[in-house]
Structure 1
Amino acid sequence: MRDEETHQFLKLKPVQATLSSLKMLDVGKWPIFSLCSEEELQLIRQACVFGSAGNEVLYTTVNDEIFVLGTNCCGCLGLGDVQSTIEPRRLDSLSGKKIACLSYGSGPHIVLATTEGEVFTWGHNAYSQLGNGTTNHGLVPCHISTNLSNKQVIEVACGSYHSLVLTSDGEVFAWGYNNSGQVGSGSTINQPIPRRVTGCLQNKVVVTIACGQMCCMAVVDSGEVYVWGYNGNGQLGLGNSGNQPTPCRVAALQGIRVQRVACGYAHTLVLTDEGQVYAWGANSYGQLGTGNKSNQSYPTPVTVEKDRIIEIAACHSTHTSAAKTQGGHVYMWGQCRGQSVILPHLTHFSCTDDVFACFATPAVTWRLLSVEPDDHLTVAESLKREFDNPDTADLKFLVDGKYIYAHKVLLKIRCEHFRSSLEDNEDDIVEMSEFSYPVYRAFLEYLYTDSISLSPEEAVATNDLCIIFAQLGCRPGSSPTLK
């Protein structure tokens, strides 16, 4: 690919994003933050609101300091005592630690993972949900390493009184209350320390997890969903109401590739790679969005709008559901400030977090709020990150049975062929068969990055790339980057 005329690759000059500082995290909709001064609010980078009345807070600042305030029930603020505080107090025991993810239970108890993959727990522990081998409440953060040494935890989830973590190698560990099999051990004996969840998950790679009040969900890399635990409301989606003490695949989703899962108190939402939402479980507040209040024990489609759904939201302490579309519209349904909203309702919000701040009972956060570091990315870097991103894509290329996710507007801007071929094309799937998956992927990636990434084993495909560039009218300009 050294021909000077055909194989020159144009270099984009990065456009620098000029930002004087990180944008402020909007936490003002949660009442408890009225206890913080304007100066303190401006420093918040991450935040979590939890507790039976949304009356506990943990947040980090731009200086990577961790602060807490609230009623401190069962020592859930980690300060070493059970004294409430209406003024933010620094959590010195986690000094120097950066939070990657965090979840909370009903006691409440806290499970936190750092960016280094370490796990810390504290708070309510009557059912061993802290994983430290005791049933004593934890007044300060405790590093949990039993069965997790040499493991990097990348996601955490809490039920009411049990805990779940996901490691970087796709393994799931659980501990705590197990009266309904929610630990997945095959018994109903409480689990005092982390135990790997095996059974059907033994040889699977799990990519994301979630917990309801007393149940667990795991999505594997093939898009299948595995469930276990309490099922009295059909929240496992298995077509019955019997508890499940070990992981079981949701057979009703056969042929459907799930990307995300979210659990409410006793209901479940999943999001597919097609942008479709399915729901099942308890529905006494309309939280399934099906137009009625009947429980569903099988996955049921939720009709939001024609636009693709890119995010779903639920929390085990509420009966509220929310979703965001690719067009930026936010919908809510379920228990909303005492009302039962039985169909998805369009809101004026720009993010699903606001639904839980303004309409959920209690007013908690369904995830760890954070100011994304994307604020400092250049335009070129932002485009590079969006390549093959199913959450924002509106077009899929099907090659060799695999999808490559792309964005029509960018393809039309970057390539004359796509400008004409996609102009009146409303299809969201394009099948390609002339060349191999690595070739098409490398070409599409070039349109996002201005460089070609091919492994040494795939370098032979450069000739095919030349043909694609010629056929589609693209005239790149320096030699490709082989990785």
Structure 2
Amino acid sequence: MPRISMVVQNQVHMEAESPVSHGVTAKVIQATFLSALKMLDVGKWPIFALCSQEELKLIRQACVFGSAGNEVLYATENNEVFVLGTNCSGCLGTGDVQSTIEPRRLDTLCGKKIACLSYGSGPHVVVATAEGEVYTWGHNAYSQLGNGTTNHGLVPCQVSTNLVNKKVTEVACGSHHSMVLTSDGEVYAWGYNNSGQVGSGSTANQPIPRRVTGCLQNKIAVNIACGQMCSMAVVENGEVYVWGYNGNGQLGLGSSGNQPTPCRIAALQGIRVQRVACGYAHTLVLTDEGQLYAWGANSYGQLGTGNKSNQSYPAPVIVEKDRCEHFRSILNNNDDEIIEMSEFSYQVYRAFLEYLYTDSINLPPEDAIGLLDLATLYRENRLKKLCQQTIKQGICEENAIALLSAAVKYEAQDLEEFCFRFCINHLTVVTQTPGFAEMDHDLLKNFISKASRVGAFKN
């Protein structure tokens, strides 16, 4: 069984309420790709469309962010850092608010290795380097940049107050607040605090980083996450602590009251959580046994509980067991065969990820062939069926032979029969296309033999 040769640090936050109107941190699509050339051809991403091949070959790491994924920060092999995109309210950090389709260099971050990035809908950006330094820029009306002021920041500036001699390993943003995790397991937060999201015990905004204490005082945190106006941390024994806004039950405490200081989720007693992730108003956790639990807003079915009712307590996510075991077997496989992700376009890669979460695909018929290839490599039969249905919708005389060839190559029998019948019904036109003239010899031989058997050449 093949496996993907791709190391991806991927944080995808899906908004719980309106996918269009809110524009909060929960909507950021952030992906950091290491050794990009071997793993993913970023040249297929629309945001890099105007970059030259020479520039693309130098990209080592890319972070796509923004309310619609229209901004990108990337690092080259020699650790130069560039940005491009729409620059909403200065979120590119270029010193102005001008959007750019040409890469612009961020001198402040050049020479530093970017470890992680998070985006808040203000908008503001928080970055941590491999050395553990923190840089922020963007909107700052609520002191979410952590510099003690409410002045907007148009260029990256290091946040040092209370973080001196601390190595930050993880960052997270709410809509207007920020949070970081240090290598020694401490959590620091700052910014907007109308619902207690910085965990200080009050609702006063926090202009500089302050350590979140209370129930976390003697705990070692290993993971953090922010919703729109709430915050969460997983500690080393697998407990989850939450604080902030709770109007949709996103804290998992069984109530809808706000929480100004960290509180352990009692309903997860005896369950060891490894990771937590927040949407706009809902939360998911992954346990050490591979189980998913979700709670909070559910008007779009984002909790995966089988209904659309909000959930104030953690509820297990319904996952098809066979499919779960199928992908588990892929991850645990030690076969040396490798699927090179550079073989597939951005559209195919994105469609595959969407399928994993939604059980459906939405892409043009011409891109479905690449997805059919990927589905075949993963032996994902249900996805193959969906691809075949999509491809059928795009068949015409000009591409019928190419689709037939693809169907044979990927052992898609239903599609193969469909394409064959289409070719027979349009035989005169199909045989005059370039595709027919360039048809593989063995495939042509089999096509003629099968066409003869169904009487295609009778007078």
What is the TM-score with the length of structure 2 in the denominator?
0.64
Mapped partners of 1:105, 1:115: distance in 2: 21
Q: CA deviation at 1:236?
A: 0.5
- The alpha-carbon distance between structure 1 residues 56 and 226, as it changes in their structure 2 partners (threshold 3 A), is same
Cα distance per residue 1:178-230 (max 9 Å; x no partner): 11110000111111000100000000000110111111110000000000011
Instruction: Name the structure 2 match of 1:54.
Output: 69
Instruction: Name the structure 2 match of 1:450.
Output: none
Percent sequence identity over aligned pairs: 82
Instruction: Name the structure 2 match of 1:135.
Output: 150
* Higher CA-based Rg: 2
2:285 paired with 1:235 = no
- The alpha-carbon distance between structure 1 residues 307 and 335, as it changes in their structure 2 partners (threshold 3 A), is closer
Q: CA deviation at 1:74?
A: 2.0
Note the 1:349-388 alignment, pairs <5 A.
none
Instruction: Name the structure 2 match of 1:171.
Output: 186
Instruction: Name the structure 2 match of 1:123.
Output: 138
Mapped partners of 1:293, 1:29: distance in 2: 36
- The alpha-carbon distance between structure 1 residues 201 and 21, as it changes in their structure 2 partners (threshold 3 A), is closer
Instruction: Name the structure 1 match of 2:58.
Output: 43
Q: CA deviation at 1:37?
A: 3.0
CA contact (8 A) 2:306 2:318 kept: no
2:91 paired with 1:66 = no
Paired amino acid for 1:248: C
Mapped partners of 2:224, 2:104: distance in 1: 31
Instruction: Name the structure 2 match of 1:327.
Output: 330
Paired amino acid for 2:253: L
3-state SS in 2 of match to 1:74: helix
Cα distance per residue 1:400-458 (max 9 Å; x no partner): xxxxxxxxxxxxxxxxxxxxxxxxxxxxxxxxxxxxxxxxxxxxxxxxxxxxxxxxxxx
Paired amino acid for 1:301: P
Q: CA deviation at 1:48?
A: 1.5
Mapped partners of 1:336, 1:279: distance in 2: 24
Instruction: Name the structure 1 match of 2:126.
Output: 111
Instruction: Name the structure 1 match of 2:91.
Output: 76
Note the 1:25-424 alignment, pairs <5 A.
25-27=40-42, 30-306=45-321, 325=328, 327=330, 331-333=356-358
Gaps of 5+ in 1: 1-19, 311-323, 338-345, 352-483
Mapped partners of 1:112, 1:120: distance in 2: 5
- The alpha-carbon distance between structure 1 residues 194 and 236, as it changes in their structure 2 partners (threshold 3 A), is same
Cα distance per residue 1:227-266 (max 9 Å; x no partner): 0011111110000111111000000000000001111111
Paired amino acid for 1:327: I
Q: CA deviation at 1:282?
A: 0.7
Mapped partners of 1:44, 1:268: distance in 2: 33
- The alpha-carbon distance between structure 1 residues 35 and 283, as it changes in their structure 2 partners (threshold 3 A), is farther
CA contact (8 A) 2:276 2:286 kept: yes
Instruction: Name the structure 1 match of 2:344.
Output: none
Q: CA deviation at 1:28?
A: 5.3
- The alpha-carbon distance between structure 1 residues 79 and 336, as it changes in their structure 2 partners (threshold 3 A), is farther
- The structure that is helix-richer by fraction is 2
3-state SS in 2 of match to 1:39: helix
- The alpha-carbon distance between structure 1 residues 21 and 238, as it changes in their structure 2 partners (threshold 3 A), is closer
- The alpha-carbon distance between structure 1 residues 287 and 21, as it changes in their structure 2 partners (threshold 3 A), is closer
Cα distance per residue 1:122-164 (max 9 Å; x no partner): 1111111000011111011111110111111111111111100
Gaps of 5+ in 2: 1-34, 332-351, 363-370, 379-459
- The alpha-carbon distance between structure 1 residues 270 and 178, as it changes in their structure 2 partners (threshold 3 A), is same
What is the TM-score with the length of structure 1 in the denominator?
0.60
Instruction: Name the structure 2 match of 1:369.
Output: none
Q: CA deviation at 1:112?
A: 0.7
The structure, 1 or 2, with the larger RCO (C-alpha pairs under 8 Å, 6+ apart) is 1
Cα distance per residue 1:40-85 (max 9 Å; x no partner): 3332221122222222111111221111011212221111111111
State the Cα RMSD in Å. Answer: 2.8
- The alpha-carbon distance between structure 1 residues 325 and 125, as it changes in their structure 2 partners (threshold 3 A), is farther
- The structure that is strand-richer by fraction is 1
3-state SS in 2 of match to 1:332: helix
Paired amino acid for 1:250: I
CA contact (8 A) 1:25 1:42 kept: no
- The alpha-carbon distance between structure 1 residues 286 and 30, as it changes in their structure 2 partners (threshold 3 A), is farther
Paired amino acid for 1:165: V
